[in-house]
Structure 1
Amino acid sequence: MTFVQVIEYDTERPADMDQLLDRWMESTEGKRTAFHEIHAKDRDRPNHYVDIVEFPSYEQAMRNNDLPETQRIAAQMEDLCTGEPRFMNLDVLRDEKL
């Protein structure tokens, strides 16, 4: 079953967040278990962003989370946020192309 993690956060430093994602992708090449990521900006709320990350399973997501590179980037991400990021862990029940 596919697993999705949604990360919601506010930041006034979106360019720095993009650089963090780039560094994470470089440093986890060949190790990460995430296979798809969508980065989106909320049109109605300035400085509000949502990342949607897909994994093959919950177990694979937790393995990805435990990577030292992921832990390092997550700590740096929190420093760039205004407030606490919100994480949602979702089991995909339906996935249809419309």
Structure 2
Amino acid sequence: MGFIQIIDYRTECPEAVDRLLTEWINGSAGLRTATRTRVCRDRDDPTHYMEILEFDSYDDAMVNSELAVTNATHEAFVPLCTDGPRFINLDVIRDEPWQL
């Protein structure tokens, strides 16, 4: 089954973080193993964000984390955070698409 990594952080610079993500997407094209990303903002705390990254497997996530562009992005990302980042690593044990 799949693997999900949640990056939980707070920032006062969401535009700068978004630019970093765009740079990572462009710089990791053809190399990255993440299959999807979602960036979410807490409705009750506009400085609180979570990025949800999806991978086919834990091993794929580890390959992704070893990319030079991932490490460079992380180094630039940390100073933009007022809290975190914290990484939550989840093995998918059940995945069902729901139709309305």
TM-based fold match above 0.5: yes
Would the aligned equivalents of 2:39 and 2:52 in 1 still touch at CA under 8 Å?
yes
State TM-score, norm by structure 2: 0.95
Unaligned stretches of 5+ residues in structure 2: none
Q: Aligned pairs, how many? A: 98
Residue by residue over 1:20-78, the C-alpha shift from the partner in whole angstroms, topping out at 9 and shown as x without a partner, is 00000000000000011110000011200011000010011000000000000011110
State TM-score, norm by structure 1: 0.97
- Aligned partner of 2:59 in structure 1 is 59
Percent identity over paired residues: 46
Shift of 1:91: 0.3
| Whole-angstrom distance in 2 between the partners of 1:46 and 1:21 | 18
Shift of 1:84: 2.1
SS class of match (1:83):
strand
Would the aligned equivalents of 2:8 and 2:84 in 1 still touch at CA under 8 Å?
no
- Aligned partner of 1:79 in structure 2 is 79
- Aligned partner of 2:27 in structure 1 is 27
SS class of match (1:32):
coil
Q: CA RMSD in A?
A: 0.7
Unaligned stretches of 5+ residues in structure 1: none
Shift of 1:96: 1.5
